[in-house]
Amino acid sequence: MKKLSLIALFIFSSTFLMAQELRLNTYAGYIFKDQVDSYYSSSSYFNGTIQDGLRWGLGLEYHIPDRGAIEIQYLRQDTSAPTTYLDEGIFNQIQNTTFDLGINYIFINGTRYFPVSEQVEPFAGAGMGLGIFGVDNPDNGNSNSATKFSWQVRGGSNFWLAENIALRVQASLVSATQAIGGGLYFGTGGVGGGLSSYSSLLQFGLEGGIVFRIPQK
Protein backbone atom coordinates (compact mmCIF):
# COMPACT_ATOMS: atom_id res chain seq x y z
CA MET A 1 0.00 0.00 0.00
CA LYS A 2 2.85 2.39 0.87
CA LYS A 3 4.49 1.76 -2.51
CA LEU A 4 1.20 2.39 -4.32
CA SER A 5 0.74 5.66 -2.41
CA LEU A 6 4.24 6.82 -3.35
CA ILE A 7 3.66 5.93 -7.00
CA ALA A 8 0.33 7.79 -7.01
CA LEU A 9 1.97 10.83 -5.38
CA PHE A 10 4.77 10.77 -7.96
CA ILE A 11 2.32 10.55 -10.87
CA PHE A 12 0.18 13.36 -9.43
CA SER A 13 3.23 15.61 -8.82
CA SER A 14 4.61 14.97 -12.30
CA THR A 15 1.25 15.71 -13.94
CA PHE A 16 0.84 18.87 -11.85
CA LEU A 17 4.28 20.21 -12.74
CA MET A 18 3.88 19.41 -16.44
CA ALA A 19 0.61 21.34 -16.49
CA GLN A 20 2.29 24.51 -15.27
CA GLU A 21 3.86 27.29 -17.32
CA LEU A 22 7.28 28.85 -16.91
CA ARG A 23 8.19 32.33 -18.17
CA LEU A 24 11.34 34.44 -18.30
CA ASN A 25 10.56 38.15 -17.80
CA THR A 26 13.02 40.91 -18.68
CA TYR A 27 12.73 44.44 -17.27
CA ALA A 28 14.08 47.89 -18.16
CA GLY A 29 12.60 51.27 -17.36
CA TYR A 30 12.79 54.81 -16.06
CA ILE A 31 12.88 55.29 -12.28
CA PHE A 32 11.94 58.71 -10.91
CA LYS A 33 13.86 60.73 -8.32
CA ASP A 34 13.19 60.33 -4.62
CA GLN A 35 13.92 62.75 -1.80
CA VAL A 36 15.42 61.28 1.38
CA ASP A 37 16.00 63.23 4.57
CA SER A 38 16.21 62.91 8.32
CA TYR A 39 16.79 65.41 11.10
CA TYR A 40 18.02 63.48 14.13
CA SER A 41 19.08 66.72 15.87
CA SER A 42 20.27 70.22 14.99
CA SER A 43 23.79 68.84 14.60
CA SER A 44 22.92 65.50 12.96
CA TYR A 45 20.89 65.54 9.79
CA PHE A 46 20.98 64.78 6.07
CA ASN A 47 19.00 65.84 3.03
CA GLY A 48 19.55 64.25 -0.36
CA THR A 49 18.04 63.05 -3.62
CA ILE A 50 18.30 59.59 -5.16
CA GLN A 51 18.65 60.52 -8.83
CA ASP A 52 16.45 59.16 -11.59
CA GLY A 53 17.71 56.72 -14.20
CA LEU A 54 17.59 53.25 -15.66
CA ARG A 55 16.69 50.14 -13.72
CA TRP A 56 16.95 46.70 -15.36
CA GLY A 57 16.39 43.13 -14.29
CA LEU A 58 15.21 39.56 -14.84
CA GLY A 59 12.50 37.39 -13.37
CA LEU A 60 11.68 33.69 -13.52
CA GLU A 61 7.91 33.23 -13.20
CA TYR A 62 6.03 30.02 -12.40
CA HIS A 63 2.35 29.99 -13.43
CA ILE A 64 -0.43 27.99 -11.82
CA PRO A 65 -3.53 27.85 -14.05
CA ASP A 66 -6.45 29.95 -12.74
CA ARG A 67 -4.47 30.83 -9.60
CA GLY A 68 -1.81 33.33 -10.65
CA ALA A 69 1.98 33.22 -10.70
CA ILE A 70 5.00 33.27 -8.41
CA GLU A 71 8.16 35.02 -9.56
CA ILE A 72 11.75 35.29 -8.34
CA GLN A 73 13.01 38.68 -9.55
CA TYR A 74 16.34 40.54 -9.57
CA LEU A 75 16.58 44.31 -10.24
CA ARG A 76 19.62 46.61 -10.53
CA GLN A 77 20.03 50.40 -10.62
CA ASP A 78 23.24 52.45 -10.73
CA THR A 79 22.68 56.07 -9.79
CA SER A 80 23.98 58.92 -7.61
CA ALA A 81 22.74 60.81 -4.56
CA PRO A 82 23.69 64.49 -4.09
CA THR A 83 23.45 64.93 -0.32
CA THR A 84 23.91 67.66 2.27
CA TYR A 85 24.64 66.39 5.77
CA LEU A 86 25.98 67.38 9.15
CA ASP A 87 27.46 64.75 11.45
CA GLU A 88 28.27 65.11 15.15
CA GLY A 89 32.05 64.96 14.93
CA ILE A 90 35.21 66.82 15.68
CA PHE A 91 34.91 69.17 12.69
CA ASN A 92 31.14 69.60 12.90
CA GLN A 93 30.95 71.12 9.41
CA ILE A 94 28.18 70.88 6.83
CA GLN A 95 29.19 68.46 4.07
CA ASN A 96 28.03 68.32 0.43
CA THR A 97 28.76 65.10 -1.40
CA THR A 98 27.41 63.33 -4.48
CA PHE A 99 27.54 59.67 -3.49
CA ASP A 100 27.73 56.84 -6.04
CA LEU A 101 24.91 54.44 -5.29
CA GLY A 102 24.30 50.89 -6.50
CA ILE A 103 20.91 49.36 -5.66
CA ASN A 104 20.09 45.65 -5.97
CA TYR A 105 16.66 44.19 -5.24
CA ILE A 106 15.73 40.53 -4.85
CA PHE A 107 11.97 39.92 -4.69
CA ILE A 108 9.51 37.08 -4.45
CA ASN A 109 6.41 38.34 -6.24
CA GLY A 110 2.83 37.13 -6.41
CA THR A 111 0.98 38.16 -9.57
CA ARG A 112 -2.62 37.74 -10.67
CA TYR A 113 -3.37 37.83 -14.41
CA PHE A 114 -6.71 38.86 -15.93
CA PRO A 115 -6.55 37.89 -19.64
CA VAL A 116 -9.11 39.67 -21.80
CA SER A 117 -8.04 37.97 -25.04
CA GLU A 118 -5.29 35.75 -26.39
CA GLN A 119 -3.16 38.85 -27.03
CA VAL A 120 -3.90 41.12 -24.04
CA GLU A 121 -3.12 39.97 -20.48
CA PRO A 122 -3.47 42.64 -17.74
CA PHE A 123 -2.00 41.90 -14.31
CA ALA A 124 -1.53 43.24 -10.78
CA GLY A 125 0.74 42.02 -8.06
CA ALA A 126 2.99 42.64 -5.08
CA GLY A 127 6.20 41.29 -3.67
CA MET A 128 8.67 41.43 -0.81
CA GLY A 129 12.34 40.75 -0.40
CA LEU A 130 15.68 42.47 0.11
CA GLY A 131 17.23 45.73 -0.99
CA ILE A 132 21.05 45.63 -1.09
CA PHE A 133 22.68 49.07 -1.19
CA GLY A 134 26.29 49.90 -1.93
CA VAL A 135 27.59 53.45 -1.53
CA ASP A 136 30.93 55.02 -2.51
CA ASN A 137 32.03 58.42 -1.21
CA PRO A 138 34.22 60.02 -3.94
CA ASP A 139 35.48 62.68 -1.51
CA ASN A 140 37.29 60.34 0.86
CA GLY A 141 37.20 56.93 -0.87
CA ASN A 142 35.02 55.34 1.81
CA SER A 143 32.59 52.58 0.85
CA ASN A 144 29.75 50.98 2.76
CA SER A 145 26.80 48.67 2.20
CA ALA A 146 23.53 47.72 3.86
CA THR A 147 20.74 45.18 3.35
CA LYS A 148 17.16 46.19 4.13
CA PHE A 149 13.65 44.75 3.93
CA SER A 150 11.95 45.89 0.70
CA TRP A 151 8.55 45.58 -0.95
CA GLN A 152 6.86 46.48 -4.21
CA VAL A 153 3.46 46.77 -5.87
CA ARG A 154 2.94 46.82 -9.64
CA GLY A 155 0.39 46.65 -12.41
CA GLY A 156 0.36 46.56 -16.18
CA SER A 157 -0.21 44.22 -19.08
CA ASN A 158 1.46 41.70 -21.35
CA PHE A 159 0.79 42.01 -25.08
CA TRP A 160 1.47 38.72 -26.83
CA LEU A 161 3.19 39.23 -30.19
CA ALA A 162 3.57 35.50 -30.86
CA GLU A 163 2.83 32.25 -29.08
CA ASN A 164 5.93 32.45 -26.86
CA ILE A 165 6.90 36.17 -26.92
CA ALA A 166 5.13 39.13 -25.34
CA LEU A 167 5.77 42.82 -24.73
CA ARG A 168 5.41 43.74 -21.04
CA VAL A 169 4.42 47.25 -19.89
CA GLN A 170 4.04 48.12 -16.21
CA ALA A 171 4.15 50.77 -13.49
CA SER A 172 5.77 49.89 -10.16
CA LEU A 173 6.30 51.34 -6.71
CA VAL A 174 9.32 49.99 -4.79
CA SER A 175 10.26 50.82 -1.22
CA ALA A 176 13.16 49.91 1.04
CA THR A 177 12.34 50.45 4.70
CA GLN A 178 14.82 52.69 6.57
CA ALA A 179 17.43 52.13 3.88
CA ILE A 180 19.17 55.49 3.68
CA GLY A 181 21.00 56.94 6.65
CA GLY A 182 24.04 57.29 8.82
CA GLY A 183 25.13 53.68 8.79
CA LEU A 184 25.08 53.66 5.00
CA TYR A 185 26.28 57.12 3.99
CA PHE A 186 28.11 58.87 6.74
CA GLY A 187 30.77 56.65 8.21
CA THR A 188 33.62 58.96 9.18
CA GLY A 189 36.36 56.44 9.88
CA GLY A 190 36.37 57.02 13.62
CA VAL A 191 36.51 60.81 13.41
CA GLY A 192 32.85 61.55 14.06
CA GLY A 193 30.11 60.22 16.25
CA GLY A 194 28.07 58.86 13.34
CA LEU A 195 24.59 59.86 12.23
CA SER A 196 22.07 57.34 13.59
CA SER A 197 18.79 58.28 11.86
CA TYR A 198 17.35 56.78 8.69
CA SER A 199 14.94 57.53 5.87
CA SER A 200 12.91 55.06 3.79
CA LEU A 201 13.42 54.93 0.03
CA LEU A 202 10.34 55.11 -2.23
CA GLN A 203 10.80 54.74 -5.99
CA PHE A 204 8.16 54.98 -8.73
CA GLY A 205 8.98 53.54 -12.13
CA LEU A 206 7.60 53.06 -15.64
CA GLU A 207 9.01 49.92 -17.19
CA GLY A 208 8.85 47.66 -20.19
CA GLY A 209 10.35 44.36 -21.21
CA ILE A 210 10.07 41.14 -23.16
CA VAL A 211 8.39 37.99 -21.83
CA PHE A 212 9.56 34.59 -23.06
CA ARG A 213 7.26 31.64 -22.50
CA ILE A 214 9.50 28.59 -21.98
CA PRO A 215 8.05 25.61 -23.87
CA GLN A 216 7.29 22.61 -21.69
CA LYS A 217 8.01 19.13 -22.97
The predicted pLDDT at position 191 comes to 35
First to last CA, the chain: 31
107 to each of 52, 151, 152, how far by Cα in Å?
Answer: 21, 8, 8
Mind listing the pLDDT tens digit for each residue in 127-143?
999 999 888 888 878 88
The predicted pLDDT at position 184 comes to 55
The gap from C-alpha 159 to its chain's centroid, in whole angstroms, comes to 23
Q: Is 216 exposed, middle or buried (0-12, 13-18, 19+ CB in 10 A)?
A: exposed
Domain at 21-214, CATH class: mainly beta
The helix (H) or strand (E) run that includes residue 167 is: strand 165-181
Specify whether the backbone of 69 is left (phi greater than 0), alpha (psi in -120 to 50) or beta: beta
State the pTM of this model. Answer: 0.82
Residue 67: which residues within 8 A CB-CB, separation 6 or more?
none
The helix (H) or strand (E) run that includes residue 51 is: none
Low-confidence ranges of the chain (pLDDT < 70): 1-19, 40-44, 87-92, 179-199, 217
**Which 3 state secondary structure label does DSSP give 66?**
coil
The predicted pLDDT at position 194 comes to 47
Mind listing the pLDDT tens digit for each residue in 4-48?
444 444 443 444 444 478 999 999 999 999 988 777 666 667 788
- Return d(Cα 179, Cα 208) in angstroms, integer: 26
